[in-house]
A and B are shown apart, each in its own frame.
Chain A
Amino acid sequence: MKETLNIVLSGQAGQGLMTLESLLADVIRKEYYLFTSPEFMSRVRGGNNSVELVLSSEPIESWRKIIDILFVLGPESFVRMKPRLGKDTLVISESKFVSSDEQKDISFIELPLAELSKEAGGQIYGNTIIFGYICRLLGVSTDSARNSISRKFAKLKDDVIQKNLVAFDMGYDSLAKEASIKNISKVKNKPPTRVMDGSTAVGIGALAGGVNYLASYPMSPSTGVMMYLARKGKEFDVLVEQAEDEIAALNMVIGAWYAGARGLATTSGGGFALMCEALSLSGITETPCVIHLAQRPGPATGLPTRTEQGDLNLALYAGHGEFPRIILSPGNIKDAALLTSKAFRLADKYQVPVIILTDQYLLDSMSETEPFEFDESALESFVVETKSGYLRYDLSKGPISPRGIPGFGKGFVKADSDEHTEEGLITEDFDVRNSMNEKRLAKKALILQDYQDAQLYGPDDYDRLLVGFGSTYGVLKEYVETTDKKDTFLYLKQVYPLPETLKKYFEKAGEVVVVENNATGQLAALLKGELDIKVDHNILKYSGEPFSIEEIEDRIGGLS
């Protein structure tokens, strides 16, 4: 394991934990690498929410279970966080939130937050007091912390900023002497990084892919992308419309693509289920579309604010009838951005639906990555100017008939959800049906030429191959980087279609272990079905939480 310090702030919804997180992130990132991940209940007030901040001397992208420093900020926090205490966990709390019996068994420091807040001018200053307290605890520069406060509250009145600065000092000065924390090295000459959460990465990626239309219906955890593009809409010429339902959303996105736009629908499992018929419409009309499917645990409403990789099968098999599709599964912020941009190009090039499969954990977590930039390649347009007599489904050009749009050229663009002729008119001619069906399905082979390559982390002469897709990337990569075993991680960032060439990674492996955040091993079944790969072990988790690094170490360790 890396040298890390795991701080968890646990309180109630509506308490301003996100503000505190962003203040802390600002100052911590100057001296450490930082990964943050929130977990929250599906409610607007009360309950128990927490934010985890993992500091490290090296780049870090994974969640840990064991907490080093826990701030208990609400009545239910201690009970909920108790399973995550280790033998050295330092618990900082009002004494009323942790009973005196419980205090005896742990390293406990009282922080009289209510009293201090009152002194500072009210409850709303509580977060700034904690901010000061943590800055002292970590020994970070107070100048940069003070600057962060001034920036964060810049839009508020001067006296509010002043009061916050006083509250910061109160927190800073109230640190009890006996508090000592494990020492982790600060990063010397930290190179520049890009910092963002997964929702922002998908949003920026969409902009780099030329998105200019979004129709969606709000649903956690997919809404962050919609809100991001709504904020950027005017500056980047994106028409953002909140649809009346997800059925409308995807039909609107398909209409937008038909007319020459690059549309995106962002949704979660329940909303995606409503889009299934329109997905099939994209398939037969060969109208491109891009869907961001942000997974959360189901069935039905499930655990609305938690994480899971349970909708791989949904993405694979959604929609009646048979038609090709592409499913991308980014596992980190850089890929979330780059693959989302590519999704638009792939949809345009192959005239198929492209699904970007993410989850709550990836979208809401914030991490740092090496600097990267977009080039213009994803913006390449495949739309053609039509001539009189244009045939939308021209069979003479191979599986990809050049796609025109209305108003660009002299031809008419006729798209039909019925089986259709080359012109786009309804037909029940069986020969034409065969030709059209074969043409559509033949795109799969072409799509594979653009396969988004899987990445291998760990030794080349591995004994054991660990396989994951999407957000298990961070934890599996960290595991193979720190284990002394010959374990290697294969990260799949395109889960469908899969090329035969992937088999070479499996043939070399003594043992294949597929790790998935679901209960039934959907990726393992896909690998078996598509490539006839024998999976020796399937490590699954379906509680609604992501895998922690400790859990991965235990469960892989338990295999041999």
Chain B
Amino acid sequence: MNNFEFNREIDIAWCPGCGNFGIRKALQKALQELGIEPAMTVLTSGIGQAAKMPQYVDTNFFNGLHGRGLPLAVAIKSVNPELTVIAEGGDGDMYGEGGNHFIHNIRRNPDITHLVHNNMIYGLTKGQGSPTSMPGLKTTVQIDGVINEPFNPLSVALSLGATFVARGFSGDMEQLTELIKAAITHKGYALLDIFQPCVSFNKTNTFKWYKENTYYLDSDHDPADLSKAFDLALKKDKYPLGILYKKEGLETFEEKTPVYRENKTPVIKRKRDISKVNNLL
């Protein structure tokens, strides 16, 4: 049995053909190839089809409330920086309900990985518009088509100073595995937005549509170039796949926070001296 796999058949609640299956395989493969210890790994998530991922990967997890995967992740990582922490969810979960946490955790720069399955639709609630839905997309609620401008996670992340911003596609397991590995090994907050078809509710942004409307960044692209990364993030004709931006060497939240300035021991492993507390009286 491989790490992060169950030693038994598990019942997976995703629709046949869902892009989530590819993402799950890529995640497990990335974790295995990096040799990460499952007991030292925590997946956090909110609610949604994507947020069910932790159920299907055999490791520690906290599947919390809708939109709240990131607050859990930043807290877990900061009280025990020895853990590998990955927050995972969908576009509605992470960019809609959890939008405020998305903004402010980029500012914090915790050393966590943020995987967002972006299928431009709400799946679990059966097909309403999501923050990333494209204008004109007809849904069960937006019956004449979506009228709002889509949320652009990549440009938002770049504008807030994120040090790792990438986009993958669930249809390319090989590239996605490499992108997840790069996101996990990046020191600091790493956003990986993952395009993914929703076979049940999004009949516009299909597997074929993603194939036709994306392209791979080639080796000429310099991920250290922030203004180039912005240009790429703002592109609407064809969407680039790969690492748009990566900056090394910035201090993480855990490194900057005062309790770790001089002492690297995780706070959960430190002992309280009651006599010192009594001195405060």
Identify the A interface with B (CB < 8 A).
Answer: 194, 204, 207-208, 210, 212-213, 215, 232-241, 243-245, 247-249, 251-256, 258-261, 263, 277-278, 281, 285, 287, 337, 371-376, 379, 405-407, 409-418, 424-426
Instruction: Assess whether B72 is in contact with A241, with CB atoms less than 8 Å apart.
Output: no
Q: Beyond A258-B76, A417-B47: 9 further Cβ-contacts under 8 Å?
A: A233-B258, A248-B101, A248-B104, A251-B64, A251-B65, A254-B72, A255-B64, A260-B80, A277-B65
Instruction: Assess whether A255 is in contact with B73, with CB atoms less than 8 Å apart.
Output: yes
Residue ID in chain A nearest B69 by CB atoms:
A251
Most B Cβ at <10 Å: residue of A194, A245, A255, A277: A255
Residue ID in chain A nearest B82 by CB atoms:
A407
Q: In the docked arrangement, what's the CA distance between A375 and B64, Å? A: 35
Interface string of B98-111 (1 = CB under 8 A from A): 00110110000000
Residues of A close to B258: CB separation below 8 A: 233-234, 240
For chain B, the count of residues having a C-beta within 8 Å of the partner chain is 50
Known: A237-B270, A244-B104. A212 touches B79 (CB 8 A): yes
Instruction: Assess whether A254 is in contact with B268, with CB atoms less than 8 Å apart.
Output: no
Residues of A close to B119: CB separation below 8 A: none
Residues of B close to A371: CB separation below 8 A: 281
Known: A239-B79, A415-B61. A255 touches B267 (CB 8 A): no
Residues of A close to B80: CB separation below 8 A: 259-261, 406-407
Residue ID in chain B nearest A228 by CB atoms:
B280
Q: In the docked arrangement, what's the CA distance between A213 and B268, Å? A: 9
Interface residues of B in 31-82 (CB under 8 A from A): 38-42, 44, 47, 52, 54-55, 58-65, 68, 71-76, 78-80, 82
Provide 5 A-B residue pairs closer than 8 Å at the C-beta atoms, listed in order of the A residue.
Answer: A241-B257, A254-B72, A406-B42, A414-B61, A417-B64
Identify the B interface with A (CB < 8 A).
Answer: 13, 38-42, 44, 47, 52, 54-55, 58-65, 68, 71-76, 78-80, 82-83, 100-101, 103-104, 257-259, 261, 263, 267-268, 270, 272, 274, 276-278, 280-281
Q: Could you count the A-B residue pairs with CB atoms below 8 Å apart for me: how many are there? A: 178
Instruction: Assess whether A412 is in contact with B60, with CB atoms less than 8 Å apart.
Output: yes
Instruction: Assess whether A212 is in contact with B101, with CB atoms less than 8 Å apart.
Output: no
Known: A261-B267, A374-B277, A407-B80. A416 touches B68 (CB 8 A): no
Known: A212-B268, A379-B272, A412-B59. A256 touches B79 (CB 8 A): yes
Q: In the docked arrangement, what's the CA distance between A423 and B276, Å? A: 40
Residue ID in chain B nearest A420 by CB atoms:
B63
Name the contact of B277 in the complex, choosing from A204, A243, A253 (C-beta under 8 A).
A204
Instruction: Assess whether B103 is in contact with A244, with CB atoms less than 8 Å apart.
Output: yes
Name the contact of A255 in the complex, choosing from B55, B71, B280 (C-beta under 8 A).
B71
Q: In the docked arrangement, what's the CA distance between A204 and B78, Å? A: 23
Residues of A close to B257: CB separation below 8 A: 239, 241
Name the contact of A253 in the complex, choosing from B13, B38, B62, B75 (C-beta under 8 A).
B75
Instruction: Assess whether B40 is in contact with A407, with CB atoms less than 8 Å apart.
Output: yes
7 nearest A-B pairs in the assembled complex, by CB-CB distance:
A255-B75, A255-B72, A251-B71, A244-B104, A406-B60, A261-B79, A252-B75
Known: A238-B259, A244-B100. A412 touches B39 (CB 8 A): yes
